[in-house]
Amino acid sequence: MSAATRDALIDAFLAEAGWADGLREKLPGDASFRRYERIRRGNATVMLMDAPPPQEDVRPFVALAEHLAGLGYSAPRLLARDVDSGFLLLEDFGDTTFTRALQADADEAALYTAAVDLLADLHARPGAADIDIPLYDDALFLREAHLLTDWYLPAIDPAADAGAARAGLSEALTPLLALARRMPQTLVLRDYHVDNLMVLPGRPGIAGLGLLDFQDAVIGPVTYDLVSLLEDARRDVPAALADSLLSRYAAAFPALDPAALEVSYRVMGAQRALKIIGIFTRLSRRDGKHRYLGHIDRLWRLVDRDTDHPALAPLRAFLAETFPPTRRRVPEIPA
């Protein structure tokens, strides 16, 4: 579909929704094919999500937004939709992401504490998992982890045996996934970090946190979203703060074994960091989005921190052999 044709479809969608006369402002893109516009009319604003098929599918977002709202959380209200064309008109949460609030010297501990408390509230609700979404099973975990061997390894060493590395990673990681699942399984939002959390003044308690970018949610270990938040791929979270918040979460669930919680958290942290190294490399090599490469050094530091736990020794040994220091570098930007 040409850009002009899609623009015409957007115009028709906005006209049908009663927003044809709004002033449109394009917003910066992210790592997906989705794009967003803020539409103003007087003092009112709404958000347009343009998620072009077949690269994107808005139906999971719609289902999750309605589910989260039904649980009492602040997901954007759906004002109009055309799921076949990939258009949604959404409630506008404004611009104050946690990231921007932190850049404006907001209380870091208070923001992160609120985000952990929301997860504790979500994980205490039996109904959180009552939604038809995929399971975070071994096949999905491994498929994600293989982004490291399929994209990052060839980028930093084209002569490397990526197939052997893939097999070795599966062998090292698979038994650890069983350890990660010793925690309860629930709704996992998957991209739960400061870029996707909004400050919503005037809303009490957990409703004061706006939730974004949850369309890839799955059912999996409660520790995954904790890792997403506290081991951020794009931002250094002070280790003391992360440790204290993990303890705060554990205190909310005294029936959980603290040692098992720690192991699950470290396995999820290592898997996630390895996956994202591969994703950021793919964004550069395939999509020409190179700015994410600047986070790879941080991700390797997170891998080292998580695999330092004795339970993760097999994974640490595999990484030491397959990704020695000479292979833990930022890939060059293709010419």
Q: What is the pLDDT of residues 280-299, one digit of tens each?
A: 999 999 999 999 999 999 99
- With a cut of 90, say whether residue 4 has pLDDT above it: no
Report all structural domains of the chain as residue ranges with CATH numbers, in order of start. 3-91 (3.30.200.20), 98-327 (3.90.1200.10)
pTM beyond 0.75: the answer is yes
- With a cut of 90, say whether residue 104 has pLDDT above it: yes
Nearest C-alpha neighbor of 132 from the set 224, 53, 60, 190: 60
- With a cut of 90, say whether residue 32 has pLDDT above it: no
